[in-house]
Amino acid sequence: MSEFDLTILFASIVAGAAPIVLAALGETITEKAGVINLSLDGTILLSAMASFVIAYETGSLITGFLTGAVIGGIVASLVAFFSVYLRQSQVAVGFVLTLMTRDLAYFLGNSYSRIQGPQVEPLHVPLMNKIPFIGPILFGQNIVVYFSVAMIGICWWYLYRTPMGLNLRSIGENPKASFSRGINSRKMQMVYSVCGGMFVGLAGAAFSLSTKPGWGRPQGAEGTGWIALALVIFGGWNPIKAAIGAYLFSFLQVMGIYFQGWFPSIPAQVFQVAPFPLMIFTLVIMHLTQKESVLSWAEEKNWIKSVLKMFSSTAPQSLGKPYKPD
């Protein structure tokens, strides 16, 4: 790791970020509709395990990815059903499911540990990958990476440029008002939770079939779910900003590998935890952007104001508080 090639660096950032982008997008959709799915970390592992096992047994990658999506959808539907219809705490149900799905993944996947299985082959886009610098970064990847990049734009477009997206956002802001406008808020919250969960499931599949191929205990995807949850807040519930956060996180992870080469005396695990305190730090900054005193202090300083503006955002008004019909 002594040589330092920018193209390789960026290409590995984009590749490594693919599952994180998918998970963060899924959670953004879910939370925009007013539901917090805290079970991400376990869901990713369970769907990673299931996709790997199914892809290994059937030899079909597509079936593997579909399995991942279905598993993600099922777990998300549990969270949504418990909270929207049974009115239990989303945080409690999500947390229990995080631990349980993780253990379920380790238990059921035990006999498939550390074996060679199918994995997604790179798919170079002809001609485009010949563009210097950009080519290998954006067009020399595999289909999972292309899909993750495309979904960023599609999610944004759906949320902010379509009538369905407007409905989705209105449910997260005020489910009661949406209900009186003729939207079945509870049903839609279920639907969007499942949609978001399917993205999370795909993220798991992307781990075990592409980014970190194979299954084992630990798989290597541990902790990603929590990062994705933090990224949603970091991105201010905006899919594009959340995705930027995912790339930043991936950058930190890749840099960790380089740092390890440069400072071999420090154990690798230290660099692996570095992104987490940084994440807390950004959350603190985001909180500061909402304080009057800080805003008035930044009034004169233009560049600080623009930085603060970049970080400022508010959660959907009814996040975590599903509506109870009378």
Partner 1 sequence: MTDYYRTIKEIIFALVIVFTFTTLVLLAAGAPPFEAYYHIFKGALGSWIRFSHVIKTWIPLTLCACGLLYTFRINLWNIGIEGQMMMGAVFTTACLRFGLESPVQPLFLWFSFAAGITGGAIWAFGAGFLKTKGGVNEIFAGLGLNFVAQGIILWLIFGPWKRPGVASMSGTEIFPHTMWLPHLTSIRLSPVGLGLVTLALVITALMLRYTRIGLYLKAIGNNPNAARIFGIKRAKYMLIAMLFAGGFAGLAGSLQVTGVYHRLLPAISSNYGYLALLVVMLANYNIWLAPFIAFFFACLNVGSIQLPMVLQLDSSLSGVIQGSLVLAALAVHAWRTFRKDNSHRGIE
Q: Which is nearer to partner 1, 6 or 284 (CB)?
A: 284
Task: Please state the closest distance from residue 294 (CB atom) to partner 1, in A.
Answer: 11
Instruction: Compute the distance between CA of residue 313 and CA of residue 319 in angstroms, rounded to an integer.
Output: 14
How many residues in the shown chain lie near partner 1 by CB under 8 A?
A: 47
Q: Using the structure block, give the residue that is written with the tokens 């902010």.
A: 160
Q: Using the structure block, give the residue that is written with the tokens 């080469």.
A: 261
Q: Which is nearer to partner 1, 125 or 294 (CB)?
A: 294
Instruction: Compute the distance between CA of residue 40 and CA of residue 42 in angstroms, rounded to an integer.
Output: 6
List the one residue out of 91, 46, 54 whose CA is nearest residue 71: 46
DSSP 137: I
Contact residue for partner 1 among 273, 306, 309, 321 (CB under 8 A) = 273
Instruction: Compute the distance between CA of residue 325 and CA of residue 316 in angstroms, rounded to an integer.
Output: 20
All residues at 6 or more sequence positions from 167 whose CB lies less than 8 Å from its CB, including other chains: 178, 183, 188
In DSSP terms, 122 is beta-bridged to: 142
Q: Which is nearer to partner 1, 123 or 285 (CB)?
A: 285
Where in 52-111 is the site for partner 1 (CB under 8 A)?
A: 78, 82, 86-88, 91-93, 95-97, 99-100, 102-104, 106-111
Contact residue for partner 1 among 126, 163, 277, 325 (CB under 8 A) = 277
In DSSP terms, 142 is beta-bridged to: 122
Where in 233-272 is the site for partner 1 (CB under 8 A)?
A: 233, 265-267, 269-270, 272
Where in 289-318 is the site for partner 1 (CB under 8 A)?
A: 290
x-marked contacts with partner 1 along 30-49 as a string, rule CB under 8 A: --------x-----------
Q: What amino acid is encoded at 178 in this protein?
A: S
All residues at 6 or more sequence positions from 100 whose CB lies less than 8 Å from its CB, including other chains: 42
Binding region for partner 1 (CB under 8 A) = 38, 78, 82, 86-88, 91-93, 95-97, 99-100, 102-104, 106-111, 217, 223, 226, 229-230, 233, 265-267, 269-270, 272-274, 276-277, 279-280, 283-284, 286-288, 290
